[in-house]
Structure 1
Amino acid sequence: MKKIILIILTIILPLGAFSQRGLNIGYIDMDYILENIPEYQEASNQLDNRVQDWKNEIDTKRREISEIQTQLENERTLLTKELLEEREDDITYLQDQLTEYQQKRFGPGGDYILQKRQLIKPIQDQVFNAVQEIADRRNFDFIFDRTSDIGMIYAKSNYDMSDQVVRIITRAANREEIESRQDRIDLEQAENRTVAQDSVIQAREQASQNAKTERELYIEERRRKRDSTRAAKKAEFEERRAQILEDRERRRDSINAAREAEARIKDTIN
């Protein structure tokens, strides 16, 4: 833990040399805090009692299996092969059940781990909120937990170099992909920009992309309405055309029927 803090301080102390004040660093002792919170102690005692009950159950089951094994050894010579195998299978089953119970209570993801986590999480949340309040009020740059493997539990956001690390990795990948002089110039310009400038450019690009998307949606909606109008007009035209053809066909049939009737009359007169 001390080595981790020393490494971090070795990295960040030069940054503080350029500021008007030195770094303000603090630490907490989580074990001490938990020992002095009555709610945690009460809940911890309840969990300890529960754990003891689980251990007693395991010891009872283990003694029962041991007694059955002893009885089997004493009666081994009196049992047939079938009965012996049956008793041994029973013991194996009880041992498997005991192992399963132990895993359920104390294995990875078991009841003890889950309840311990549930017990300590509310306290940790209170501690982190208190640390945040103290850091803001007293202007701390970093706060560590000297009893934790994690170490740092608070740091001012202006010391966060995550974006810069991502940019460097991205630049390295981009350098391997450049193919032309213009690509190299564009890359150098991008590398000389700060994170804030990148954010502004990204915001502009996003706004441009949003405007492009809105325009595409507008054009698509206009095209859809135009196609819908054309389809409606085409359907109306086809309906009118069909009606005209139907009327024309009806008139033709009427004329033909009249002619046939006239011809029949003439034939009758003659």
Structure 2
Amino acid sequence: MTLLILFSGKGLQAQKTFRIGYVDMEYILQNVPQYQEASSQLDSRVQEWRSEVEAKKRDIEQMKSRLENERALLTRELIEEREEEIAYQEEQALDYQQKRFGPNGDYLIQKKQLVRPIQDQVFTAVREISENRNLDMVFDRTADTGMLYAAEEHDISDQVLRSINRAANRRQIDSRQERQELEIAEERTVEEDEKINEEAQIIQDKQTAREAILAERQRQRDSIKAAKQQELEERRAKIIEERQRRMDSIRNLRKQKDTIN
């Protein structure tokens, strides 16, 4: 996006062109594995906190219900004592809810702690990319910036994400060869990466199709082999059965001969 700013004075008009880019912070966060893993852990913790809040509310409702059912049987002092206990439990439940979900609660604090390292990486990447592309300003389209329109060609979110992933890869490489391969990859543009990914996907699709064909052939061979094995076992069983029948017949004839003798 190009922003044209006009400066005027004493009848003269000067023009300055600002080059502006933007990022989609939500998109970046959704594609950073470390953030997703930590976010999932936080979601599990939040679910536990909500369950605890709901349990406290149910306990209070049960206390109120018992009081109403037993009110006619209780003295005034006991009723006041029960009401004070309910009020105390309600206050404790509210304090707990504020501690977990209030403006200064654990949820917002841990959420900020979760996002802050990624934000630092984004700011570093944005500064590097802005210098390379001569951008004067970069906005976050998910923030309250008043951005109503932005051409997709000025979206540098993918470049920021690539920069973050590259930084993570740099920390993981050990050998000189891996370092050289990473340097070559870092010199590629987004378009070149997309082309490489498309070619890799085509190769992967062909490999998947080839594996499916080989698997089907193996299944057919296994099926034929199993059929032959079953036929062999049935034939063997018939031979054994026939042999046993003959032996039984000979044994019966011998018995009959012994009886006659």
Q: How does 1:38-49 map to 2 (within 5 A)?
A: 38-49=33-44
SS in 1 for 2:139: strand
Q: Which amino acid aligns with 1:40?
A: Y
Say whether 1:145 aligns with 2:137. no
Between the aligned partners of 2:6 and 2:136, the Cα distance in structure 1 is 14
User: Which residue number in structure 2 is paired with residue 85 of structure 1?
Assistant: 80
The answer to which structure, 1 or 2, has the higher relative contact order (CA under 8 A, 6+ apart) is 2
Q: Deviations over 1:62-98 (max 9, x none)?
A: 1111111111111000000111110111111000000
CA distance in 2, matches of 1:18, 1:79: 85
Matched, 1:32 2:27: yes
CA contact (8 A) 1:34 1:40 kept: yes
Please tell me the root mean square deviation across aligned C-alpha atoms, in Å.
Answer: 2.3
Quote how far apart the aligned CAs of 1:23 are: 2.9
Check conservation: 1:25, 1:143, Cα contact below 8 A.
Answer: yes
Distance 1:46 1:103, change over 3 A: same
Q: Equivalent residue for 2:53?
A: 58
Q: 2:5 aligns with which of 7, 10, 13?
A: 13
Q: Which protein has the bigger helix share? A: 1
Equivalent runs, 1:80-229 vs 2, <5 Å: 80-150=75-145
**Which residue of 1 is the match for residue 229 of structure 2?**
none
Contact 1:105 1:111 in 2 (8 A): yes
Report deviation, 1:150: 4.6
Work out the CA distance in 1 between the residues paired with 2:45 and 2:15.
Answer: 55
Gap regions ≥5 residues in structure 1: 153-270
Q: Report the CA distance between 1:26 and its aligned residue.
A: 1.0
Amino acid of the structure 1 residue aligned with 2:35: Y
Q: Structure 1 residue 27: deviation in Å?
A: 0.8
Counterpart amino acid of 1:52? Q
4+ residue segments displaced more than 3 Å: 15-19
For the 8 Å contact 1:144–1:151, the answer to whether it is kept is no
Q: For residue 226 of structure 1, what is the aligned residue in structure 2?
A: none
Give the superposition deviation at 1:24. 2.1
Q: Which residue of 1 aligns with 2:240?
A: none
* 1:47 maps to amino acid: L
Q: Which amino acid aligns with 1:88?
A: E
Q: Which letter maps to 2:31?
A: N
Offset at residue 17 of structure 1 (A): 6.0
Q: Deviation of residue 136 (structure 1)?
A: 1.0
**Cα distance change on mapping 1:150 and 1:18 into 2, 3 Å:** closer
Write the distance in 1 (CA, Å) between the matches of 2:53 and 2:25: 32
Report the residue type matching 1:65 in the other structure: I
SS at match of 2:135: coil
AA at the equivalent of 1:57: E
The TM-score normalised by the length of structure 1 is 0.49
- Output the amino acid matched with 1:14: L
**What secondary structure, in the 3-state scheme, does the structure 1 residue paired with 2:57 have?**
helix
* Contact 2:5-2:15 at 8 Å conserved across structures: no
Counterpart CA distance in 1 for 2:66 and 2:128 is: 65
The aligned amino acid for 2:52 is E
State whether residues 104 and 111 of structure 1, in contact with CA within 8 Å, keep that contact through their aligned partners in structure 2.
Answer: yes
Using structure 2 for the length normalisation, give the TM-score.
0.51
DSSP-derived class of the 2:144 partner? coil
Q: Is the radius of gyration larger for structure 1 or structure 2?
A: 1
Residue 212 of structure 2 is matched in structure 1 by none
Structure 2 residues not aligned, in runs of 5+: 8-12, 148-261
Amino acid in structure 2 at the alignment position of 1:143: V
In 2 relative to 1, CA 17–140 (structure 1 residues): closer, same or farther, beyond 3 Å? farther
Q: Match of 1:76?
A: 71
**Amino acid in the other structure paired with 1:105:** R
CA deviations on 1:20-73 (whole Å, 9 max, x unpaired) are xx4322111111111111111111111111110000000111111111111111
Number of residues of Structure 1 aligned to a counterpart in Structure 2: 142
